[in-house]
Amino acid sequence: MPETMTVDYDGLIPNNVGLNDDPRVKKALETWHPGYIDWWKTMGPEGFQESLVYLRTAIGVDPEGWAKFGFVRMPEYRWGILLAPAIAGRTIPFGAHKGEPVWQEVPGEYRAMLRRLIVIQGDTEPASVEQQRHLGATAPSLYDLRNLFQVNVEEGRHLWAMVYLLHKYFGRDGREEADDLLRRRSGDRDTPRMLGAFNEATPDWLSFFMFTFFTDRDGKMQLAALAQSGFDPLSRTCRFMLTEEAHHMFVGDSGISRTIQRTCEAMRAAGIADPSDIVRVRARGVIDLPTIQKKLNLHFSLTLDLFGNEISTNAANAFNAGLKGRYREDKLTDDHQLLNDTYPVLRPVAGEIRTELVPALSALNMRLRDDYVADCASGVRRWNALVEKLGISFRFTLPHVAFNRRIGEFAAIHADPEGNVLDAATWQARRGAWLPDAADGDFIASLMRPESAPGKYAAWIAPPRAGIDNQPGDFEYVRVER
Ligand SMILES: [Fe+2]
Ligand SMILES: [Fe+2]
């Protein structure tokens, strides 16, 4: 099948996978398309389906100039299927098949495992759109509103990316899985999304920024591991998705920074030196730093659960099979098979948390989580540098990985953010000091009033340093027509 760097933009579904020469898959996707648009209109951003939004659309896969910007009504966004260019002579980089040519078709013995990996990744994409669908009503600016919608349409495209693989490579059961991806609903009691963090509410914009910082970053880690896959179409899809994902984390990182900046500025202006003087800080109409820390604690711990059990046979099998690698597998210098290696895993033993060496193959989830934590820590360092620069004495920290967990080694115990094991009564008595409670939520909700004048920002958040696509400060990123 011809595949090029250029994208066919003429048909219903923009693509660089030669869809016109593949009538079966083209038909299948065109049949899936109306259900997708229906899902977008009912479960996508509420209240802005008719608005013109200044969006980035992927029009190629060349790292230089792969996107164009322009005003689009979201239901008319050109969701396309884009694979990063094939790498000639690529071989399976790890596992039992290491060194063999990559697969262009699904290896029969791994079909079920591969389908499951694709479906789990695919399920997260529409889930986050559903979680964020009410946020448009309280956007702190048109700039932020546009960024929300950019993230949303790209998550929609990521769903397309996974649905393409299902239709193209998995026949009838692929089609059924693709339909189910539109059927499940975030937070639904009967048909929830597959993973816990994708069924949580995103009630306010600080949650949205935390979600894009922490939970989209899990997405980055998973995509990076899948981009190493020996199943080449999956690898190429994920490589291109990572290009878009970078903006999602920028939205989170800069959103949190701007929130912190405004709080510190308001504290200084009011002569408040003590960050724990929550009443006075809140009276300035900004979110106090300890509450931002609580939100961080919540979203970090929820996201850690997405990495699954620290010790996992599934993860070992997916690695052995050559389907899912490690973060930056291609940069690692070991034998890429790990048959004789060990890896340190944290686990609770007799009331305390200890490190144990386990076979490296079974600890791959733990390893990916460690890489993730290191990636998160760089954001926290930036926020602390900002706080220091603004002359406030406060430090953000990532809580211990044992804190507030529901999956894995720590699900059965309670621990404080420093990693001290607690009994259930102590945990219950003190959890409000570490996690947002109803009063914190009510306070944040009270600040969530929309600001829709071009160039204006809600009082709790600082303006960004630069516009999107170098647009000026008063650019009207969203033309609201309801
Ligand atoms: Fe995504
Ligand atoms: Fe994302």
Q: Which residue has the tokens 């600001």?
A: 451
Closest ligand to the CA of 211: 2
How far is the C-alpha of 206 from the C-alpha of 127, rounded, in Å? Answer: 18
Size of the chain in residues: 482
The answer to whether position 78 is within a domain reads: no
Closest ligand to the CA of 159: 1
> Cα of 163 to ligand 2 centre, how many Å?
16
Closest ligand to the CA of 250: 2
* Spans in the chain with pLDDT lower than 70: 1-5, 482
- In 3D space, the residue among 422, 297, 399 whose CA is nearest the CA of residue 348 turns out to be 422
Q: How far is CA 340 from the centre of its chain?
A: 33
- Looking only at the bridges linking them, the beta strands covering 414-415 and 421-422 are antiparallel
The answer to whether position 49 is within a domain reads: no
pLDDT at position 482 is 56
The answer to whether position 40 is within a domain reads: no
Instruction: Supply angle C-alpha 47, 49, 52, rounded to 5.
Output: 110
The answer to whether position 103 is within a domain reads: yes
Closest ligand to the CA of 122: 1
> Cα of 220 to ligand 2 centre, how many Å?
8
Q: Give start and end residues of each alpha helix (H) in 184-215.
A: 205-210
State residue 435 phi and psi, 5-degree precision.
-125, 145
The answer to whether position 111 is within a domain reads: yes
- In 3D space, the residue among 79, 241, 231, 87 whose CA is nearest the CA of residue 170 turns out to be 231
The answer to whether position 414 is within a domain reads: yes
- In 3D space, the residue among 260, 3, 251, 40 whose CA is nearest the CA of residue 129 turns out to be 40
> Cα of 155 to ligand 2 centre, how many Å?
6
Closest ligand to the CA of 125: 1
pLDDT at position 5 is 62
> Cα of 280 to ligand 1 centre, how many Å?
39
> Cα of 218 to ligand 1 centre, how many Å?
10
Q: DSSP 3-state assignment of 350?
A: coil
> Cα of 358 to ligand 2 centre, how many Å?
32
How far is the C-alpha of 212 from the C-alpha of 218, rounded, in Å? Answer: 9
How far is the C-alpha of 461 from the C-alpha of 425, rounded, in Å? Answer: 37
Our count of domains for the chain comes to 1
DSSP secondary structure letters along 284-305: TTS--HHHHHHHHHHHHHHHHG
> Cα of 166 to ligand 1 centre, how many Å?
16
Closest ligand to the CA of 158: 1
Q: Which residue type, as a one-letter code, is found at position 286?
A: V
pLDDT at position 3 is 47
The answer to whether position 4 is within a domain reads: no
> Cα of 423 to ligand 2 centre, how many Å?
37
> Cα of 54 to ligand 2 centre, how many Å?
18
The answer to whether position 7 is within a domain reads: no
> Cα of 165 to ligand 2 centre, how many Å?
18
In contact, 29 and 164? CB cutoff 8 Å? yes
pLDDT at position 101 is 98
> Cα of 356 to ligand 1 centre, how many Å?
34
Residue 261 sits in which domain range?
Answer: 87-479
CATH number at residue 164: 1.10.620.20
Cβ neighbour number for residue 258 with a 10 Å cutoff: 22
> Cα of 398 to ligand 2 centre, how many Å?
21
Q: Which residue type, as a one-letter code, is found at position 143?
A: Y
> Cα of 324 to ligand 1 centre, how many Å?
17
Cβ neighbour number for residue 414 with a 10 Å cutoff: 20
> Cα of 285 to ligand 1 centre, how many Å?
33
> Cα of 101 to ligand 2 centre, how many Å?
30
How far is the C-alpha of 99 from the C-alpha of 66, rounded, in Å? Answer: 31
Closest ligand to the CA of 126: 1
> Cα of 223 to ligand 1 centre, how many Å?
9
